[in-house]
Structure 1
Amino acid sequence: SMTALSAQATTSLTGAGATFPAPVYAKWADSYQKETGNKVNYQGIGSSGGVKQIIANTVDFGASDAPLADEKLKADGLFQFPTVIGGVVMAVNISGIKSGELVLDGETIGNIYLGKIQKWNDPAIAKLNPKLNLPDQNIAVVRRADGSGTSFVFTSYLSKVNSAWKDEVGAGSPVKWPTGLGGKGNDGIAAFVQRLPGSIGYVEYAYAKQNNLAYTQLVTADGEVIPPTADSFSAAARKIDWSKSFAQDLTNQKGENAWPITSTTFILVHQTQKDAAKGKEVLNFFNWAYEK
Structure 2
Amino acid sequence: MKRMLVTLAVGVLCSASATAATVTGAGASFPQPIYSQWASDYNKATGNQINYQSIGSSGGIKQILAKTVDFGASDAPMSAAELNKNGLIQFPTVVGGVVPIVNVNGVAAGKMRLTGDVLAKIYLGEITKWNDPAIQSINPSLKLPDSTITTAFRSDGSGTTYVFTNYLSQVSSTWKNKVGVDKTVKWPTSATGVGGKGNEGVSSLVSRVNNSIGYVEYAYAKQNKLAYTQLKNRAGNYVQPSDDTFAAAAKVNWSKVPGFSLMITNQPGAQAWPISAATFILMPKNPTNAEASQEAIKFFEWSFKNGNAAATRLDFVPLPESTKNAVRQEWKKIK
With the shorter chain as reference, the TM-score category is over 0.9
Partner in structure 2 of residue 286 of structure 1:
300
Render the CA deviation track for 1:76-135: whole Å, top value 9, x for unaligned: 111101001010001100011111110001000000000010111000001111121111
Question: For residues 273 and 173 of structure 2, what CA distance do their matches in structure 1 show?
Answer: 20
Pairing partner for 1:231 from 218, 239, 244: 244
Partner in structure 2 of residue 222 of structure 1:
235
Give the TM-score taking structure 2 as reference length.
0.84
Please tell me the residue identity of whatever aligns with 1:175: V
Pairing partner for 1:275 from 289, 295, 307: 289
Residues 47-58 of structure 1 aligned to structure 2 (within 5 Å): 47-58=57-68
SS in 2 for 1:128: coil
Pairing partner for 1:207 from 194, 214, 220: 220
On the 8 A contact 1:15/1:40 being kept in 2, the answer is: yes
On the 8 A contact 1:105/1:218 being kept in 2, the answer is: yes
1:196 aligned to 2:196?
A: no
Q: Structure 1: which 5+ residue stretches go unaligned? A: none
Larger Rg: 2
Render the CA deviation track for 1:202-234: whole Å, top value 9, x for unaligned: 000010011110110000110111110011111
Question: For residues 165 and 75 of structure 1, what CA distance do their matches in structure 2 show?
Answer: 30
Note the C-alpha offset of 1:239.
Answer: 3.3
Please tell me the residue identity of whatever aligns with 1:270: P
SS in 1 for 2:288: coil
Please tell me the residue identity of whatever aligns with 1:161: V
1:96 aligned to 2:110?
A: no
Please tell me the residue identity of whatever aligns with 2:57: S
Partner in structure 2 of residue 257 of structure 1:
271
On the 8 A contact 1:242/1:248 being kept in 2, the answer is: no
Deviates more, 1:135-144 or 1:150-159: 135-144
Give the TM-score taking structure 1 as reference length.
0.96
Question: For residues 201 and 47 of structure 2, what CA distance do their matches in structure 1 show?
Answer: 32
Identify if the C-alpha distance between structure 1 residues 8 and 79 changes in structure 2 by more than 3 Å, giving closer, same or farther: farther
Pairing partner for 1:76 from 49, 63, 86: 86
Partner in structure 2 of residue 16 of structure 1:
26
Partner in structure 2 of residue 32 of structure 1:
42
Higher helix share: 2
Note the C-alpha offset of 1:6.
Answer: 8.9
Please tell me the residue identity of whatever aligns with 2:94: V
Please tell me the residue identity of whatever aligns with 2:30: F
Question: For residues 13 and 241 of structure 1, what CA distance do their matches in structure 2 show?
Answer: 27
Question: For residues 120 and 239 of structure 1, what CA distance do their matches in structure 2 show?
Answer: 36
Question: For residues 296 and 128 of structure 2, what CA distance do their matches in structure 1 show?
Answer: 47
On the 8 A contact 1:100/1:217 being kept in 2, the answer is: yes
Identify if the C-alpha distance between structure 1 residues 221 and 7 changes in structure 2 by more than 3 Å, giving closer, same or farther: same
Note the C-alpha offset of 1:182.
Answer: 1.0
Q: Structure 2: which 5+ residue stretches go unaligned? A: 1-14, 307-335
Please tell me the residue identity of whatever aligns with 1:50: G
SS in 1 for 2:153: strand
Question: For residues 262 and 242 of structure 1, what CA distance do their matches in structure 2 show?
Answer: 18
Question: For residues 72 and 254 of structure 2, what CA distance do their matches in structure 1 show?
Answer: 24
Please tell me the residue identity of whatever aligns with 1:136: D
Note the C-alpha offset of 1:240.
Answer: 4.0
Please tell me the residue identity of whatever aligns with 1:259: W
Partner in structure 1 of residue 262 of structure 2:
248
Identity %, equivalent residues: 53
Partner in structure 1 of residue 123 of structure 2:
113
Pairing partner for 1:133 from 143, 168, 171: 143
Question: For residues 77 and 57 of structure 2, what CA distance do their matches in structure 1 show?
Answer: 10
SS in 2 for 1:263: strand
SS in 2 for 1:66: coil
SS in 2 for 1:13: strand
